[in-house]
Amino acid sequence: MAEPWQTATGVIGTIIVLLITTMARYHNIPFPIMDLLMTFFRKVLSIVYPYGQITINEYQGEHMQRDELYTTSEAYLSSVCTSRARKLKAELGKGCDRPLVTIDDNEEVTDTFRGTKVWWYSRKRTSNTSVISFYPRNEERKYYCLTFHKRHRQLVEGEYLNHILQEGRAAILQNRQRKLFTNNPSSNWYNYRGSVWSHVKFEHPVTFDTLAMDPEKKAVILDDLATFREGKEYYHRIGKAWKRGYLLYGPPGTGKSSMISAIANYLEYDVYDLELTAIETNTELRKIFIETTGKSIIVIEDIDCSLDLTNKRKEKKKEKDDEEKEKLLPGQEEKDDNSKLTLSGLLNFIDGLWSACGGERILIFTTNHPEKLDEALIRRGRMDMHIEMSYCTFEAFKVLAKNYLEVEQHELFSSIRTLLGIVNITPADVAEGLLRKKSRNNDVRACLENLIREIEAKAKKEASEDAAKEKDKLKAGSSAQN
C-alpha cells in the first residue's frame, strides 16, 4: 500500500497544479509568469514529494502492439505480489494453460527489491481519440505506474526493470500452453498464411516415471537433462551454444517416441516435429529452423528414412544425379546446393548460426538402424548422447506392471523374469499383453498369464524362424557343394 503521507502529498500536489492552471486561465496570467510559477512549484514539490514514477503502457507504437514490459510486469506481479493485493482479477489469456491471477485495475501493491521498497499502481485511462472506426474498439488504455524514491532511480532503471523482464518471462513460459508443432509442406506455406509450422496443444501423458527402461540408464538421462536445463551460465562460460543433441535408437516399439514426450514433459518444452520429406531445399530448411523458438525440442523421427541423409541414399542419389546430368540440355546448368536438401545443409544448421539464436534447444534424432547413418551426422558434438532403447528387461517390465496393473509384486513375476531373459520382446508388446480387458475381467493374474502366453508364443515363433533359417543355410551350403 502507498504510504498515507505519500498519497496525501500526491493529492495536494495535483490540487495545486489544478489551481495554478485555473488561475492562469481566468485571470489571464501571462505564460512566462505561469511557467515560472510551475517551475517553482515543481521544485518545492520535489522536496516534499521525493518520488519518481515510471509509466508502463499496455499498448505502444503505431500499430498498438502489446508492450512486452507490460505483459511481463503483469505476469511478475501475478507470481510475486498478488498475496499482498486486496483486489485481484483472473483472466485466461490466449495460449495460456492456467488462469492468470493478477492485481485488479486501480489496485496498488508494494514490492521489495534488494531492500528497496517500490509501489505498483494498476491504472486505466480512457483515450479521447476521435478516430471513427467501423469496428467498436475498447478505448480504455491500461498502464502500470511504478513509483520509487528518487535516490533509488538507478537501481530501478538499471536492475529492477531487468529483473521484472526476466522473472515475468519465466512466469509467462510456465503458464503457457505447451505446443506440438509440425511443419507444413513448403507448397502449402501460401495457404497457411506464410506460416511454416502448424501447432496443436501438446498433451502427451507419458513421464519418466511411466517410461519403462533400465533405471540406471533413466537416471543418467535425467541427470543429463537437468544439467542442460540449468546450464545457461555454464554454456555461456565455455563458449558453446546452449543446445544438446540426443540420438535415440532401437527396434520399433521400444519407446523412442515415448521418450521424446517424456523429455518434453520433464523440461516443459515445446516440441517441433520436423518432417524432412516435406522440405525440398536447404533454403526452406533454414526458414523452418529460424522459426523455431527457445525452450524447444526439435525432433527428426526415423532420420534414416529421410531424404539424402545416409551413405546408401547418397550413393543411390549420385547414380540418379549422374543420369539426370546426362539428360540436361547443353547450356542448362546444374542447380546449386541450396536448391536441394542435403546432409551438409542439415549439418550446417545444427552447427551453424541458428544454434546461436535464442539457445535452450534440444535436437533429437530417432532411428531403427543407427548403422545406416552417416558418421558425420551422429558424431559427438552434434548428437551428444546416444541412447539405446532396448527390448523389455525385467526392470522395465516392473514399471509397466505398475502402470498398467498397479502391482509391484506377484508370484508370476519370477516366470516372467526368466522368459524376458531369453526372449526379445518390445515394451510396446508387453504393454499390449498387460492391457486390462473385459475378457480378462480386469484381473491382474489373467493379464499376467496372458502376457506369459504371448511371450511363450513369441519364443516358439522365434525358435521356428531360427530353425527355418538354419535349414535354408544348410540347403544353400549343400547346393553350392554340388
Binding of Mg ion at residue 79 (CB under 5 A)?
A: no
For residues 124 and 139, is the Cβ–Cβ distance under 8 A? Answer: no
| CA distances for 315 relative to 108, 309, 322, 323, 328, angstroms | 70, 10, 11, 13, 20
Binding of Mg ion at residue 258 (CB under 5 A)?
A: no
Q: How far is the CB of 295 from ligand ATP (least distance, A)?
A: 23
Q: Name residues contacting Mg ion, limited to 217-256 (CB under 5 A).
A: 256
Contact with ligand ATP (CB under 6 A): which of 212, 285, 387, 420?
212
Strands (E), 8-139: 51-57, 59-60, 65-66, 88-91, 100-103, 108-113, 116-126
Query: Per-residue x/- mask for ligand ATP, residues 234 to 263, rule CB under 6 A?
Result: ------------------xxxxxxx-----
Tell me the residue nearest to Mg ion as measured from the CB.
257
Binding of ligand ATP at residue 431 (CB under 6 A)?
A: yes
| CA distances for 183 relative to 285, 344, 446, angstroms | 10, 20, 44
Q: How far is the CB of 279 from ligand ATP (least distance, A)?
A: 20
Task: State the Cα–Cα distance between residues 381 and 351, nearest whole angstrom.
Answer: 9
- The phi, psi pair for 201, rounded to 5°, reads -65, 135
Binding of ligand ATP at residue 428 (CB under 6 A)?
A: yes
Q: How far is the CB of 1 from Mg ion (least distance, A)?
A: 56
State which residue, 428 or 452, has the beta carbon closest to ligand ATP.
Answer: 428
- State how far Cα 241 lies from the chain centre: 17
- Grouping H, G, I as helix, E, B as strand and the rest as coil, residue 57 is strand
Cα dihedral: 434, 438, 443, 446 (round 10): -60
Binding of ligand ATP at residue 79 (CB under 6 A)?
A: no
State which residue, 214 or 449, has the beta carbon closest to ligand ATP.
Answer: 214
Q: How far is the CB of 420 from ligand ATP (least distance, A)?
A: 13
Query: Where does 423-443 have alpha helices with state H?
Result: 427-434
Q: How far is the CB of 400 from Mg ion (least distance, A)?
A: 17
State which residue, 284 or 454, has the beta carbon closest to ligand ATP.
Answer: 454
Contact with Mg ion (CB under 5 A): which of 257, 261, 296, 450?
257
Query: Per-residue x/- mask for ligand ATP, residues 213 to 232, rule CB under 6 A?
Result: x-------------------
416 binds, among Mg ion, ligand ATP, none (CB under 5 to 8 A by kind): none
In sequence order, what DSSP letters do the residues of 202-238 get, joined into one string?
Answer: ------TTT--S-HHHHHHHHHHHHHHHT-HHHHHHH
For residues 429 and 454, is the Cβ–Cβ distance under 8 A? Answer: yes
Strands (E), 92-177: 100-103, 108-113, 116-126, 140-149
Question: Which amino acid type is present at position 108?
Answer: E
Q: How far is the CB of 202 from ligand ATP (least distance, A)?
A: 15
Tell me the residue nearest to ligand ATP as measured from the CB.
255
State which residue, 113 or 391, has the beta carbon closest to ligand ATP.
Answer: 391
Per CB under 6 A, residues contacting ligand ATP are 211-213, 252-258, 368, 389, 427-428, 431
Per CB under 5 A, residues contacting Mg ion are 256-257
